[in-house]
Amino acid sequence: MSLGLLALAVVPGIARGDESLAGTLQRELAGEPPALVERLLDERVVLLSGAGREPQDDPSQVRAVVLFARPRDRVIQLLQQTSRQIEYRPDLKKIEVVERLPDGEVDLQEMRMMLMRISTWLRYQWDVPAGRISWSLDPRFPNDLRAVEGFWELEEIDAGHTLGRFGTRVDVGPALPSMFEEIATRKNLPQTLDRCRRWIDSDGSSRP
């Protein structure tokens, strides 16, 4: 028995019907604790850092893994429809595409946080063959936050499942209370990622 299969054999709670999916996930997540596979199959969204569980966690930076029940191509197509984020993000009050580019677009996003309205201009970049979507603030426009950046890296697990690796960093700058960083990442993000997963798994029909 290989070490990967041995690790799966000692992880409780994986149903026989999930063995093939679990085995593929274990290979894709090599280097992570074997118990992560069981959590991912059960919870579908797992924070890897920035969750506040460890002293070294930085609340401004978060990494997570998400298991989507959709083919990779469809997950990419839905995530590229950035203006539809408002369908699963109640904090967003406005999204407007202000520029379309050969490899992405620039969006104006307005969100409400603790009774404050915050505007950002995000430059999205698509690398569809690599399954990567990334974003950062566009410095050509006024932004209420000092830094926002993030990415999705999407890998096909099987015909009906996609593994999403997610990362983001938020720096609110000196003009806003530092607690906004924690709200935008550690407090709000787990629920936002789960809503995004449900929205994609429903092919864009789920609403919070």
The answer on 116 and 49 residing in a single domain is yes
Find which of 55-69, 75-89, 113-127 is predicted with most confidence, using mean pLDDT.
75-89
Pairing of strands 116-127, 45-49: unpaired
Model pTM?
Answer: 0.84
Residue 51, pLDDT score = 47
Per-residue pLDDT, averaged over 88-112, amounts to: 94
**206, part of any domain:** no
Per-residue pLDDT, averaged over 183-200, amounts to: 85
The answer on 130 and 165 residing in a single domain is yes
CATH number assigned to the domain comprising residue 188: 3.30.530.20
Token pair 């530092």 is found at: 178
The answer on 58 and 28 residing in a single domain is no
The answer on 76 and 165 residing in a single domain is yes
The answer on 100 and 34 residing in a single domain is no
d(Cα 194, Cα 67) in Å, to the nearest integer? 10
**Residue 92 pLDDT greater than 50, yes or no:** yes
**31, part of any domain:** yes
Question: pLDDT tens digits, residue range 2-25?
Answer: 334 333 333 444 444 567 899 899
Contact 106, 124 (CB under 8 A): yes
**Residue 83 pLDDT greater than 50, yes or no:** yes
- Give the number of domains in the chain: 2
The answer on 93 and 167 residing in a single domain is yes
Lowest mean pLDDT among 69-83, 168-182, 187-201: 168-182
Residue 2, pLDDT score = 35
Lowest mean pLDDT among 49-63, 84-98, 149-163: 49-63
d(Cα 154, Cα 3) in Å, to the nearest integer? 25
Residue 59, pLDDT score = 57
Question: pLDDT tens digits, residue range 118-154?
Answer: 999 999 999 999 999 999 999 999 999 999 999 999 9
Residue 114, pLDDT score = 73
Q: Which residues does residue 94 pair with via DSSP β-bridges, in sequence order?
A: 110
Contact 65, 48 (CB under 8 A): yes
Q: Around Cβ 194, how many Cβ atoms within 10 Å?
A: 16
Number of H helices, E strands in the chain: 6, 8
The answer on 192 and 93 residing in a single domain is yes
**Residue 63 pLDDT greater than 70, yes or no:** yes
Burial class (CB in 10 A: 0-12, 13-18, 19+), 87: middle
Per-residue pLDDT, averaged over 85-94, amounts to: 93
Token pair 């990494």 is found at: 63
d(Cα 96, Cα 77) in Å, to the nearest integer? 18
The answer on 8 and 88 residing in a single domain is no
Structural domain of 108: 44-201
Question: For residue 187, what is the DSSP state?
Answer: I
**208, part of any domain:** no
Q: Would you state the structure tokens that stand for residue 168, as one six-digit string? A: 């983001």
| 32 — pLDDT class (breaks 50, 70, 90) | confident
The answer on 122 and 26 residing in a single domain is no
Query: Comparing C-alpha atoms, which of 88, 93, 79 is closest to residue 166?
Result: 79
The answer on 81 and 132 residing in a single domain is yes
How many residues can be counted in the chain? Answer: 208
Compute the mean pLDDT over every residue in the chain, rounded to the nearest whole number.
85
Residue 33, pLDDT score = 83
Q: Would you state the structure tokens that stand for residue 56, as one six-digit string? A: 């070294």
The answer on 120 and 28 residing in a single domain is no
